[in-house]
Amino acid sequence: MPDDSSQPILRFDDVTLSFGGPPVLNHISFSVLPGETRIIFGAAGSGKTILLKTALGLLRPDTGRVYVFGHDITRMPERDLFDIRSRIGMLFQEGALFDSLTIEENVCYPLLNQKSIRSTPEQARARAEEVLRFVELEHTMDKRPSELSGGMRRRVGIARAVATRPPLVLYDSPTAGLDPITANTIIAVIVKQRDVSNVTTLMVTHRYQDGNLMANYRWDAATGGLRPATNGERARLRTTFMVLREGRLVFEGTQQELEASEDPYVSRFVVRST
């Protein structure tokens, strides 16, 4: 099926989802092209996490359709979804690391359990070491998640999410509850992952700074840090901002359009954090 750059890697077509009460996703439609970065803002309970879980096939919409890599996953059986999910990385809100496993076992988990990947234990260990080095946590391989700080757990979560080299990575509030310095470190890792692996990124956040860094900065391998993107690079980054309100998509556009928006709800996400 189509994976070329002209076809959306992810598409929501008039998706509505409710849990018995008012809809948590209300007629949501959008498309994400390969290599694009999407930043999703919204107040608590606006449906941001639900949107990511629906994209991953963990939740099924009541109406509408969800297409991932060109496949309609709306009513796809759970076992068939495993193949699709093996090409999507997901960082859950608190990391969702398996607390009964070591950090190494956590990162090896998708490599050993994804049916379409099935690495040998040696290959999985080597890859785990590589991705943990990527997030600068290679020294924690034998530790348990409970021995790590909140920021370190998120970085391990990122390592686990990208261990299988997925072309699409979803981040659910990667900086929530972290101090500004740790939050910036996490965003730097996400930018690094995006620029080094050239992956499509969807990031849910309520911090405007996170979106701003994603849209205007690039990973600089020479300095090992972020640097401002040039105008040409910024255009290539193709960062789109979305704002959700009570399950509805109330804004979709560029950073300039977001900053120019006169909608009081939308502008709250810009004003509050700058």
Which residues of the chain form contacts with other proteins (CB under 8 A)?
53, 56, 58, 78-79, 82, 85-86, 88, 90, 92-94, 96-99, 109-110, 113-115, 117, 160
Minimal distance, residue 68 CB to other proteins, in Å: 13
Residue (11 or 85) nearer to other proteins, CB: 85
Length of the chain: 274
Give whole-number Cα distances, 209 to 53, 87, 126, in Å.
24, 28, 34
Residue (164 or 261) nearer to other proteins, CB: 164
Residue (4 or 115) nearer to other proteins, CB: 115
Minimal distance, residue 255 CB to other proteins, in Å: 29
Structure tokens, 203 = 């990031």
Residue (43 or 81) nearer to other proteins, CB: 81
Give whole-number Cα distances, 129 to 145, 146, 161, in Å.
16, 19, 14
Minimal distance, residue 104 CB to other proteins, in Å: 15
Residue (112 or 188) nearer to other proteins, CB: 112
Minimal distance, residue 138 CB to other proteins, in Å: 21
Minimal distance, residue 219 CB to other proteins, in Å: 25
